[in-house]
Amino acid sequence: MLRPLSVFGRTPLCFYVLHLFLYAGIGRLVAPNGTTIPVMIPFWLLGLLILFPLCLWYGRLKHRQPARSVLRYF
């Protein structure tokens, strides 16, 4: 049940950078003049569904790197 949280927790910088661009894009497409938080909740969940496989892929890539690799720090 907590697997998605652990995936996001293992790749915090990746999640942070990707979510900034993703949610800015979603916000501009859906509500360029602004909206309320309850209207954006489904789009927030959609964003998490999009980010999950990307963070899962990056976490696996990061895990395969040697201990001294720069990718292990991000």
- Residue 61's domain comprises 3-73
Average pLDDT over residues 28-56: 90
What CA–CA distances, in Å, run from 61 to 7, 31, 53, 54, 74? 12, 35, 12, 11, 11
pLDDT beyond 70 at 1: no
Task: Report the pLDDT value the prediction gives residue 66, as an integer from 0 to 100.
Answer: 82
**H helix intervals, 1-74:** 3-10, 12-30, 37-64
Q: What is the pTM of this model?
A: 0.81
Average pLDDT over residues 3-31: 90
Q: Which two tokens stand for residue 51?
A: 């980010």
Number of independent structural domains in the chain: 1
